[in-house]
Amino acid sequence: MIKAKYKWDLQQNNTEIAPEVVQSLKLTPIVQKVLQSKGIVAQEEIQKLLVPSQLKHDPFLLSDMQKTVDRINHALDKKERILVYGDYDADGVTSTSILVTALRELGAEVGWYIPNRFTEGYGPNEAAFKNAADEGINLIITVDNGIQGHHEMEVAKSLGIDVIVTDHHEIGETLPDAYAIVHPMHPEFDYPFKYLSGAGVALKIAQALLDHPSPSFTALAAIGTVADLVSLTDENRAIVQQGLKVMNDQPFDSITALLNQAGHNDVITEETIGFIIGPRLNAVGRLDDAGLAAELLMCESAEEAEFLAEQVEHFNQERKDIVQEIAEEALEMAQAEVDAGNRFLILAKEGWHEGVLGIVASRIVETYGLPTIILNIDTAQDFAKGSARSIEQVSMYEILDKERSLISKFGGHHMAAGMTLPIESIEPLKAALNQHMEEIAQTEDLTPRKKVDLVLTESDITVKNIADIQKLRPFGTDFTSPLFELDNVVVKQAKGIGQEGKHLKMTLGDSKLQALYWQHGEYANQLEPNEPLNMIGALQINEWNGNQSPQFMVQDMASEALQILDFRGKARQHEMHDEASTAEIINAQQTKTHEHQYYYGNMIDRPYERYVFKELPLNLETMETTLNSMQESQIILELKHKQSIYFDGMPSMNHFKACYKALMAKNEVNLQQDGMQLCEFLKIKPPLLIFILKVFNELDFIEDNHGIIKVNQNVVKKDIASSKLYQARQKRMDVEKFLLYDDFSKVKNWIKAQLAK
């Protein structure tokens, strides 16, 4: 069997779209089903989804927008110096670029500042504000930050600087004492949409300031919106849809250069932003000063854009290399933690780069489905600093909040957090958080989950249906790309593709549907033709040489069918699994190394996900006994052995007789001197001669004194076949003939018969 990595939650929505709405909006059956699965059934709601460009709320409905515009215009009239104070992530640098460019179009004397992640941290910075005052700055406008900067606002006021805060993050119990606050969730205003990104807020300010803002502003806001994972509904949806249209129809130098460096020359979609543009803009601030990313977005020539994009690409590649190195170390540490029974993983090491720890934490969570904290240990300053990622069932903020006494500083939300703590607090925090997890596990199922929109049949998966579904794009937070389930689909072919067969490619059913499962090439040796599988995944259109075909992108799969997998021989290896879910069966001559090993002939008294027959059994009877006690699951036959005797065969009775006569004739034989001559006389190989002599010795026909063979006188006549060595060799040959060299289908049928008992 193949066990699913996730629990599949099929979305249940009993409300259907009215037939007249289906007809009015010309919804295809597949689109109708997808919308219903997401609970989107009202005509107005569907229209907003299908034509989001109509959503454009008045920017002056935002808090303090008129006050903000008036103050900026006053600064323009008085030729005051303005500073845009940004943030180092993709949302921050796009926000900075939008507002700085808009102010420059108005003729403002404007500069910009992005704090360093490592030396200054997130948000307003007192030293930076004081430096701005020294440079004659009269007005500071924050973008994508500032709503928690209470102290810094007081500092600015004491320096005679007005600060306009533009932000979208959670508002605390009190608001900072800024000149103006532009925020979609401001408690004293009622903006129609609460979940703009920082770049979205900057776009609204540009719209309030300019009669005809540049289309590039919407494109930049789309990048910030997708990269910051804010809700892709309502106005955000309109921003992203319009921004993608701008990037495809009116490409501008900075994004073109960035995509050129990435080798992307296809249509730009929200996935292009999420997987190519956003990570590259983020990479700079993760490793160094994010100013380079902002410079790229604001540059004014194609030549400069190519130069800056090349540098950004360098940072992105460096970021990938660092992530890979840390992830490999962290995964090894995580496995040890899981084997030790921990359910909350805290992984810490000196020398890990702080800028990428959130990415690494996400990888660990994806692999093990457990909340994870990744920390860099700084022995010089005696603290550890890092990032946390969680699972849906566990609020990272709440669980850390319970242990504030162990943490110097932390902030975050349900799914993620950042923190600093003393090095000596790491182990106590690990113990405390694992205790909380034990308590949570009493009432919560902690199995990782995937929300499934629809169960499809093979006939549903057509190029036309996939194209219809893609008309619902862009997909993102709160309107995710639909996930589909296929049940009892038959695997016609499975093979590993890519470097070292890292990925799995399958041909499914009579329709020959192609399916890909990234990073799971190990299943290629585990799936058999015509094996039924259940799987979940997304749909894609594959284009090759001008032809289009449907493709299923697998995210998880499962099978209740018994799997008996052939891993005999050194050339094939099965992937290592955690000990607790795997039983290993070995011969009694071996020493057990862990509690999940069993000897042939042992009864296995608990269920396992898989059973690995590590060694070739000495006889079939002991293997039968063990198989009789097992539950149907995944069975892996490795059947390792030092050497095979099957092809050497069993000496014939004539060989035994001739050998005995030869020994009788000489009475005494020095095996070292005469052994080869005896082999030549008998026309057998040395191993068979040694076996014959061992049988004779067991039956007391001879005496073997360190290779000096003497025939015993007056021996009792015994049948050669009565020898235990003879019988053991015969059984070993029978075992080898059947388990190693017979047709594997016969071996499988025999195993199934034993399991049935």
**Does 756 score more than 90 pLDDT?**
no
115-143: pLDDT as tens digits: 998 888 888 999 999 999 999 999 999 99
Confidence at residue 278, expressed as pLDDT on a 0 to 100 scale: 97
CA–CA distance, 367 with 361 (Å, rounded to integer): 10
How confident is residue 496, by pLDDT bands cut at 50, 70 and 90?
Answer: very high
Amino acid at 667: N
What whole-number distance in Å separates Cα of residue 197 and Cα of residue 232? 10
Q: What is Dmax (Cα atoms) for the chain?
A: 128
At 540 the pLDDT is 95
As a whole number of angstroms, the distance between CA 309 and CA 704 comes to 82
Any bridge partners for residue 318, and if so which? none
Residue 350 has pLDDT above 70, yes or no: yes
Distance of CA 710 to the CA centre of its chain: 69
Q: For residue 539, give the 3-state DSSP assignment.
A: strand
Please say if the pLDDT value at position 565 is more than 90: no
- Fold that domain 453-561 belongs to in CATH: OB fold (Dihydrolipoamide Acetyltransferase, E2P) (2.40.50)
Bridge partners (DSSP) listed for residue 454 = 484
Q: Encoding tokens for residue 9?
A: 């939650």
Calculate mean pLDDT across residues 513-517: 96
Cβ atoms of 617 and 623 within 8 Å: the answer is yes
* pLDDT (0 to 100) of residue 321: 96
Pairing, β 7-10 against β 449-452: parallel
* Cβ neighbours around 496 below 10 Å, total: 17
Q: Which of 86-95, 275-284, 362-371, 634-643 has the lowest mean pLDDT?
A: 634-643
pLDDT computed for residue 714 by the predictor: 84
Report the phi/psi class of residue 584: left, alpha or beta, with left for phi > 0 and alpha for psi in -120 to 50.
beta
Average pLDDT over residues 427-435: 96
* 253 and 299 Cβ atoms separated by less than 8 Å: yes
> What DSSP string describes 688-721?
HHHHHHHHHHHTTSEEEETTEEEEPSSPPP--GG
- Rounded CA gap, 535 and 103, in Å? 52
- How high is the pLDDT of residue 531? 83
Rounded distance, CA 232 to CA 52, Å? 11
Note whether 299 and 308 are within 8 A (CB): yes
Between 326 and 447, name the one with better pLDDT.
326
Cβ–Cβ < 8 Å for 308, 295: yes
For residue 256 the two structure tokens come to: 């073109």
Least confident among 181-190, 231-240, 339-348, 626-635: 626-635
Across the chain, mean pLDDT equals 93
Question: What pLDDT does 570 receive?
Answer: 52
Better-predicted residue by pLDDT, 526 or 383: 383
In 31-97, the DSSP E strands lie at 81-85
Structure tokens given for 638: 């490795």
260-271 pLDDT, tens per residue? 999 999 999 999
What letter would DSSP give residue 404?
G
In this predicted structure, the answer to whether residue 666 has a pLDDT above a threshold of 90 is: no
Name the token pair of 531: 């094996």
- Predicted local distance difference test score (pLDDT) of residue 577: 52
Asked if 129 and 156 count as a contact pair (C-beta separation under 8 A), the reply is yes
Give 743's pLDDT tier (boundaries 50, 70, 90): confident
CB 225 within 8 A of CB 475: no
Give the pairing of strands 409-412 and 416-422: antiparallel
Q: Which residues pair with 513 in a beta bridge?
A: 508
Better-scored residue on pLDDT, 422 or 579? 422
> Which tokens belong to 233?
């509904």
pLDDT confidence of residue 140: 98
Query: Which structure tokens are listed for 203?
Result: 């776009």
Answer whether 32's CB lies under 8 Å from 46's CB: no
* Confidence at residue 118, expressed as pLDDT on a 0 to 100 scale: 86
Region 376-381 average pLDDT: 94
546 sits in the region (left: phi over 0; alpha: psi -120 to 50; else beta) called: left
The tokens for 739 are 């388990």
At which residue do the structure tokens 């909350």 appear?
Answer: 344
Cβ(650)–Cβ(736) below 8 Å: no
DSSP alpha helix (H) spans, 299-392: 302-339, 357-368
Element (H, E) at 487: strand 484-497
Q: Does domain 341-446 have CATH number 3.30.420.480?
A: no
pLDDT band at 682 (very low <50, low <70, confident <90, very high): very high
408-417, 436-445, 617-626: least confident range: 408-417
Q: Which CATH class is domain 653-733?
A: mainly alpha
Tally the residues of the chain: 757
pLDDT for 576 beyond 60: no
Residue 53 CB burial class (10 angstroms; 0-12, 13-18, ≥19): exposed
Which residues, 6 or more positions from 664, have their beta carbon under 8 angstroms from its beta carbon? 711
State whether residue 13 is helix, strand or coil.
coil
* Domain 59-314 of CATH type 3.30.360.10: no
Between 198 and 593, the more confident residue is 198
Q: Which amino acid is at 136?
A: G
What is the band of 579 on the pLDDT scale with cuts at 50, 70, 90?
low
Contact 45, 17 (CB under 8 A): no
Task: For residue 153, give the nearest of 186, 122, 119, 179 by alpha carbon.
Answer: 179
Question: One fold for both 59-314 and 653-733?
Answer: no
Tokens of 127: 């030293």
Percent of the chain scoring above 90 in pLDDT: 80
- Give the domain ranges of the chain: 11-46, 59-314, 341-446, 453-561, 564-645+741-756, 653-733
Higher pLDDT, 528 or 141: 141
How far is it, in rounded angstroms, from Cα 519 to Cα 575? 12
Q: CA 282 → CA 269, 287, 320, 656, distances in Å?
A: 18, 9, 12, 79
Q: Does position 620 have pLDDT exceeding 70, yes or no?
A: yes
Distance CA 113, CA 128 (A): 9
Structure tokens at 682: 């008998």
DSSP secondary structure string for all residues of 319-341: HHHHHHHHHHHHHHHHHHHHHTT
* Three-state SS annotation for 200-216: HHHHHHHHHHCCCCCHH
CA 94/CA 85 separation, integer angstroms: 12
Residue 256 exposed, middle or buried by CB count within 10 Å (0-12, 13-18, 19+): middle
Lowest mean pLDDT among 307-311, 322-326, 343-347, 509-513: 509-513
Closest-CA residue to 204 (of 173, 185, 183): 183
Taking a C-beta distance cutoff of 8 angstroms, is the pair 682, 659 a contact? yes
186, pLDDT greater than 70: yes
Q: Taking a C-beta distance cutoff of 8 angstroms, is the pair 620, 643 a contact? A: no
Instruction: Identify which of 459, 595, 575, 588 has the alpha carbon closest to the alpha carbon of residue 525.
Output: 575
Strand-pairing partners, residue 584, are 597, 612
Cα distances (angstroms) measured from residue 368 to each of 454, 583, 621: 26, 20, 39
604: its two tokens? 């296995």
Q: pLDDT by residue (tens digit) across 686-736? A: 999 999 999 999 999 999 998 999 999 888 899 999 999 999 999 999 999
Give residues with Cβ within 8 angstroms of 40, minimum separation 6.
Answer: 46, 49
The whole-angstrom separation of Cα 256 and Cα 259 is: 5
- Whether 517 and 554 have beta carbons less than 8 Å apart is answered as yes
Q: What is the pLDDT of residue 688?
A: 94
Check: CB of residue 293 under 8 Å from CB of residue 286: no
